[in-house]
Every structure is written in structure tokens, then in C-alpha cells.
Amino acid sequence: MKRNPLTDALLWFVLILGTAAFVFPLWWMTVVSLETPQRAEAAITGSGGIALFPADPQFSNYVNAVRETGSTPWMGFTDALANSIVITVLVVIGTVLSSSIVGYALARLRFRGSRALFLIMLGTMMLPGQVTMIPLFLLFREFGWIDTILPLVVPAFFGNAFFIFMYRQFIAQIPESLVEAARIDGLGHLAIWWRIALPLCKPVTAICAVFTFIGTWNDFLAPLVYLHSDEQATLAVALNGFKNQYGGLEDVHLLMALSVLTMIPCIVLFIAAQKTFVEGLARGAVKG
């Protein structure tokens, strides 16, 4: 079919406009983080207009923001960063492993009641987290897990309904001949899952890892509920504490600088996994 130049130009215009609408707030936040306190306050209040580039970049704002995070200079940000990294990595590993193995079992094992279990599992997706928050808190308190990372990490090793569904749909499309060949070679279900199914699920694994990483890294409610001490705080909680302590307009440049630092790992991960991530979304859209 012959392409219409006018239609192409209109599509490009819509794409550029949509991209600018999403990118501009991030760019503006970065610009404000590099401004002087006076210019940052003027940008926030609107009296100084919107600057696309900082007139005199103040990279020391990032150093000052890191130093002032938490009750202890330097250590507050370092502890929060280390806690966020440990929790996020463990949650990503647990979610990928548990969701993939449950998805394999639902796709390849035939037993009475498997379909009913699958439907019940999907039904749990309709329960908002606020409904189970209080029962889980009481349960974890009885276990003595409050103010530890266990309430944030352990549930990840029991699977996620959404990702189990994705793995199940993807693994069900693996040719049966490939699985039968592995069984002839003497592999059991665990070996088939680990050596065949999981490597073939790289697109789904990329989606699972990226979504889980972003959701865990930016999670504020769960760490706020279960982690009570400053030493156990994550970056999201530390950022909120920084806002409460330095929430005035005179310190908005430091708040923006800390927000940019918190956002960097998510951007880097998406760029690194972009190709596999988009491939997984495309396959899910086509094969469902």
C-alpha cells in the first residue's frame, strides 16, 4: 500500500508531542536540581518562568542532597541505597524464579483441579493490596519480622499472579516435541524448567524483571509499614523523610537532586533491557 506523506507527518507529530509530554517533566526536574536556590524557587513558583537549561549548573546540589539525607550525614543515603538494592534484587530473583516455576507447572502438568487453581490464582489479582495489608502486618508481627526486610522479600518467593499468568501462556506455546525430547534424555520437570523453559522465556523474564524492579524500587507504602528504623529505610522512605525535613521552597533544588538520583537506576535498567522488554510486549500482544 502506498503511504500517505500527510498521514506519516501527522503520526510523527503525535509521537513527538506525546514523547515531549512525558520527557519534559523529567527534564525540568533535572534542570531545577542544577539551579541555585533562588532560581529553583523562582522556577517552582513560576515567577522566573520555565528554563530549559540551567544558567549556572550547580552540580554540588547532588553532593549536598546526598550528605543531608537521613539523620546521619552521608550514611543516611548510603544505608538507604544499600537497603533498596538488597531488597529489589532479592524480590526480582524471587519473583522470576517462583512465577516461572508455577507457570511451568500450570502449563505442563495435568492434574485434577489445575484449571480451578489457575482461576483462583487469577481471582487474587482483583484483591487490592490495602485489603490484605492489615492481616499481613499482624501475621508478620507474630513472626517477629517487623523492622526487617523479610516482609518485603519473602512474599516474592511465592509468585505473582500476573507474572505466573504470563509465564504460563508463554510456556504453553513451547513445542511439545522439545519437552518430549528432554524427557527422553532423562530430564525431570525441574531440569526441563531450568534448562529449557526458563531460557526460552527471556522476553517474559525481561518484562517480569523490569516491572518488578521498578515497582519494588519505587515502593513507598510497604517499606513505610514494615520498616520503622532509619537504618532499615529504603530510598523511597528516605526521600519522603528528606521532603519532610527540607520541604521548603528554599531547599527544592536539593529535593529535585535527590529525586533524580533515585530515578536513575530505573532509567538505566529500562535502557539496558529495552530490546528484550519490547520484544516480550510484542509477543504477548500477538500470541496472548
Considering the domain 69-245 in this protein, what is its CATH number?
Answer: 1.10.3720.10
Does residue 269 carry a pLDDT above 90? Answer: no
281 or 12, which is more confident? 12
**Contacts for 75 with CB less than 8 Å, ≥ 6 apart:** none
How many whole angstroms separate alpha carbon 51 and alpha carbon 36? 13
Total H helices, total E strands in the chain: 16, 0
One-letter-per-residue 3-state SS of 19-52: HHHHHHHHHHHHHHHCCCHHHHHHHHHCCCCCCC
State residue 155's pLDDT score.
Answer: 95
The amino acid sitting at 203 is P
CB atoms within 10 A of CB 80: 26
Q: Considering only CA atoms, which of 151, 155, 152, 148 is closest in space to residue 228? A: 148
* pLDDT tens-digit readout, 183-242: 998 999 999 999 999 999 988 998 899 999 999 999 999 999 999 888 899 999 998 888
* pLDDT category of residue 44 using cuts at 50, 70 and 90: confident
By three-state DSSP, how is residue 252 classified? helix
Each domain of the chain, given as residue ranges in start order, spans: 69-245
State residue 281's pLDDT score.
Answer: 59
* pLDDT tens-digit readout, 146-195: 999 999 999 999 999 999 999 999 999 889 899 899 999 899 999 999 99
C-alpha cell at 231: 537504618
How many whole angstroms separate alpha carbon 23 and alpha carbon 186? 52
State residue 287's pLDDT score.
Answer: 46
- Read off the pTM: 0.87
* pLDDT category of residue 38 using cuts at 50, 70 and 90: confident
What's the average model confidence in pLDDT over 30-42? 88
Asked whether 205 and 96 are in contact (CB, 8 A), the reply is yes
* pLDDT tens-digit readout, 99-143: 999 999 999 988 888 889 999 998 988 888 888 899 999 999 999
Q: Considering only CA atoms, which of 31, 91, 68 is closest in space to residue 238? A: 68
